[in-house]
Structure 1
């Protein structure tokens, strides 16, 4: 039974190091890692890409345990994202039968891209775009070498690239503190590995961080120096981390979120094409679901979220008034 990295004990440890309150539990055929989240309306429980369950019965048991946990912790709703529930499980039916409903937005990606690493290396390479294979085979001739690291201090290389890329392309990445904490907890435990492409007489020009379990390697964070874009070092890094995972006996690589196939103009379209160029197949998960525990407060939460797109354009005074209202209703 595949357990996503977000549902492992080491991920729970990482979240606690970030200052989060985390609850874990397990039973016959199920387990979960649940994180306590805070908002002006109160507490909620979030189970990222979980719970993990082997069939409908165990999924029901896990959700019942999570509901009890939510009540014990005075959470006004519970949020789940089951992605591993056994073949043939009608996840939507189980969730709706227990009173859950689709969340306003998916938290973790609903669409992802998986690469089967159980084939021979030649077949894995054959599934990639030919230009990717050529880059991987010839990048060394251009003075580029690739190394991997479990040293948390090396995360500064990736942070530097991500910071510069975020500034140039105006996007928000995980904070430096988040990545440093991830590195300090996960890398020494073998649950994360940093891949670095280095150019002779220059130094690092690209980097990627993977999250690892015995079941899968997740392509988590990556960035490169645009000044050396023509060398395609990022391509060589991905191929190397896939080959290394195969050699370790890891059966699957998860390239993480991609754009929905029917949305060619989606904001993720560019890096979706990049991820798909390494072969593989798409997967669609059931998405993010909520279970209201305190019905009135949850309905208020949904109402405030629906109004957010409107009030975001209002004056700061109006926004402050709405925040005060939320705090008053919480009491």
Structure 2
């Protein structure tokens, strides 16, 4: 009888102890979203601007039921491991460069085609419309939900060999490119030596002369201080840089419907705000880079560049999808 009473008391104490450890989390009632990206957390960094805008919008929409924690500077890993983590559900969310997303869903190679979009507004209209929705649907089937197409602006060439004014100026120069076949094909078609390399290795490689340069959006040149290691900036505007705000579908599907809406609505809000801030900063960045010592040149005639890369469109038509490519070409005419 005494032993039974002791067992009963012990069991009650165990239950109370477990309840004590669980109740604070239940009382808090808060879902955590860990959002990562590989660039800096600087005030004008395009990834960081989007991340902060998303955090603000999600937390407001959810009335504090969701907290977004920010992890810049590769704290959650390089982009490809983050994307794989989102597919598996081990990474909650990220802002990922389009070229890396295209490694998972080749249709996204569309956005990396050189000289496809004439300006930011045109790219935004395409990505916010039916074409962007079709791309998002394809990626969702791979386990990742698109929340918005934020932007890094157009990508430009920087190097330590010579300014780029014609396709001939690219020849023989070693450019770091993302680990993406479209970028490799683009620089190969221009006669450059394309060197696929993870972002985390690139600054040191330029600094040490392992590579001559890279192609990169203006804002990232400034925020990542590439003006310290690269001499020439040529405003080639060769590829529109779409930075995809995305969340793991496994994570998203576990949210209640009202919190799912809070997250998706926040994606729309954050994308609009990020684009607005990015446009404002872009007007100032070139002057800052020149003041920092970079020699900047603009391209007088883009026609030779477009002619040189024409074969890239045909090469990637099968992986992008002939119908999707044709729809995009019609949209940008």
Normalized per residue, the structure richer in helix is: 2
**TM superposition score normalised by structure 1:** 0.24
**TM superposition score normalised by structure 2:** 0.24
Normalized per residue, the structure richer in strand is: 1
Larger radius of gyration: 2
